[in-house]
Structure 1
C-alpha cells in the first residue's frame, strides 16, 4: 500500500507528524527522498508535489494520498474518493480585485481577465454563474497581476487575508473552502489496509483536545459525579482492587477546556486521587 504525501511546503511537516502520531513511523527519514518505508511492511510513503498527488492516486502510482482539497478539485481526476478531512492546512480560494477598482461583484468580470494558479476551479466557478472572463494561468505572484495590468482580478489562496491586504486587494467572493484530505483510489476504498490507515489517522484527530480523567469516588456520591463529568458517552465505573474500599474508580474522556472546572466540581463531590493524562489516539 502506497501513500503519497507532500514532499515540501506548508503541508509536509504536519502530514509527517500526523503519520508518526498515528503509528506509521518512517523508517528511513523524509528529507530529500522519493519514498520511505514505514514500520508497517505493507505501507510505503511516496513524496510528491501536493498538486500532483491526486493524479498519482488516480493513475495507480499511489493507493491513497494526503493533499489539499483545493488540489483535488483542481486536478479534477476521475476515480478518486475523499475519505477523511484531516483538519489542518485550512485556507480559502477567493476571488479578489483591487480595492480601489470597479470590480465589486462576480458579474463585473464578464469579458474581463482573471489570473490564477487554479484555472480548472476558476473556470467552473464562473461557469456556474454564467460569466465568461478570460482565465489566465500563472505560476506565482498572482496577487501582483492586477497591478501590472495582466489581469482585472485574481483567484488565489488565502489563509488570513494579510497578503491580499498588503497588495491592496479586496475579496469579492469565496470560491472554495479547503483543508487537507485523505483521498483514495475508488477501487481500493474497501481494502482493509486503507480502512486501517483511515482509522489510525481519524483516531489521532479524535484525541486532539481531549484528556483522560481518572479518580476515586465514594460510592454514595457517584451520581453527583456522573452529573458533573462532561464525558464522552458517560464515565466508566470500576471496582477498586482493595476489597474493603467504599470507593469506585471513575474514568472519563473530557475536553481539555473542561478539565479545570471539572476537577473542581468532582473534588467538591468527594473525588480523590485525581489523575489527568493526554490521549494519543481515540478510536470512537
Structure 2
C-alpha cells in the first residue's frame, strides 16, 4: 500500500506529523526525496508535489494520497474519492478583482479575461454561472495580472485575504472551500489496509481537544458525579481493588475546555484522586 504525501510546502510537515501521531512512523525519515518505509511493512510513503498527487492516485502509482481538495478538483479525475477530511490546510479559492473597479459579481465578467493557476475549476465555475469568460492559466504572481493588462480578474487561493488586500483586490465570490483530505482510488476504497489507514488518521482527529479524566467517587455520590460529567456516551464505572465497595473508579473522556469546570463540580460531590491525561488517539 502506497501513500502519496506532499514533499514540501505548507502541507508537508503537518502531514508527516499526522502520520506519526497515527502510528505510521517513517523508518528512514521524511527527508527522502522519493519515498520512505513505515513501521508497517505493508505501507510505503511516496513524496510528490501536492498538485501531482491526484495523478499518482488515479494512475496507480499510489493507492491513497493526502492533498488539498482544490488539487483533486483541478485534476478533474473521476477515479478518486475522498475518505476523510483531515481538518488542516483550510483555504478558499476566490474570484477577485481590483477594489476600485466596476466588477461586483461574476456576471460582470461576461466577455472578460480571468487569470488563474486553477483553469479547470475556474472554467467549471463560470460554466455553472452561465458566464462566458476567457480563462488564462498563469503559474505565479496571479494577483499582479489585473495591473499589467493581462486579466480583468483572478481566481486564486487565499487563507486570510491579506495578500489580496495588499494588492488592492476585493473578493467578488467564493469559488471553492478547500482543506487537506485523505483520498483513495475508487477501486481500493474497500480495501482492508485503506480502512486501517483511515481509522488510524481519524482516531488522531477524534482525540484532538479531548482529555481523559480519572477519579475515585464514593458509591453514594456516584449518580451526582455522573450527572456533571460531560463525557462521550457517559463515564465508565469500575470497582477499585481493595476498595471494599465504598468507592468506585470513574473514567471519562471530556472536551479540554470543560476540564476546569468538571473538576470543580466533581470535587464538590466528593470525588478524589482526580487525574487528567492527554489522549493520543480515540477510536469512536
**TM interval, short-chain normalised:** over 0.9
Counterpart contact for 2:226–2:234, Cα < 8 Å: yes
Question: 2:121 aligns to what?
Answer: 121
TM-score (norm 1): 0.99
Q: Which residue of 2 aligns with 1:144?
A: 144
Q: Matched residues in 1 for 2:219 and 2:78: separation?
A: 59
Q: What is the distance in 2 between the residues matched to 1:187 and 1:106?
A: 38
Three-state SS of the structure 1 residue aligned to 2:126 is helix
How far apart are residue 32 of structure 1 and its match?
Answer: 4.1
Residue number in structure 1 paired with 2:74:
74
Report the 3-state secondary structure (helix = DSSP H, G, I; strand = E; otherwise coil) of the residue aligned with 1:30.
coil
2:199–2:283 Cα contact (<8 Å) kept: yes
Equivalent positions of 1:180-259 (< 5 A) are 180-259=180-259
Matching of residues 1-284 of structure 1 within 5 Å:
1-284=1-284
By how many angstroms is 1:148 displaced?
A: 1.1
What is the CA deviation profile of residues 13-69 of structure 1, one whole-angstrom value per residue up to 9, with x for unaligned ones? 000000000000001111142000000000000000000101100000000000000
3-state SS, counterpart of residue 15 of structure 2 = helix
The alignment partner of 2:252 has SS state of: strand
- Aligned to 1:154, the other structure's residue is in SS state strand
Tell me, yes or no, if the aligned pair for 2:95 and 2:153 is still in contact at 8 Å.
yes
String of CA shifts for 1:126-152, please: whole Å, max 9, x gaps: 000100111010001111111111111
Any unmatched runs of 5+ in structure 2? none
Give SS of 1:29's match.
Answer: coil
| In structure 2, distance between residues paired with 1:40 and 1:77 | 29
Stretch deviating more after TM superposition (194-203 or 71-80): 71-80
Give the unaligned 5+ runs of structure 1.
none
Cα distance in structure 1, aligned partners of 2:182 and 2:269: 44
Q: What is the rounded CA distance, in whole Å, between the counterparts of 2:201 and 2:32 in structure 1?
A: 24
Partner of 1:205: helix, strand, or coil?
helix
Q: Is the partner of 1:41 in helix, strand or coil?
A: coil
- Contact kept? 2:219, 2:245, Cα under 8 Å: no
Q: TM-score, normalised by structure 2?
A: 0.99
Structure 1 position 245, deviation (Å):
4.5
Mapped to 2, the partners of 1:68 and 1:242 lie a distance apart of: 54
Deviates more, 1:188-197 or 1:241-250: 241-250
* RMSD after superposition: 0.7
* Number of residue equivalences: 284
For the 8 Å contact 2:74–2:118, the answer to whether it is kept is yes
Q: Which runs of 4+ in 1 moved over 6 A?
A: none
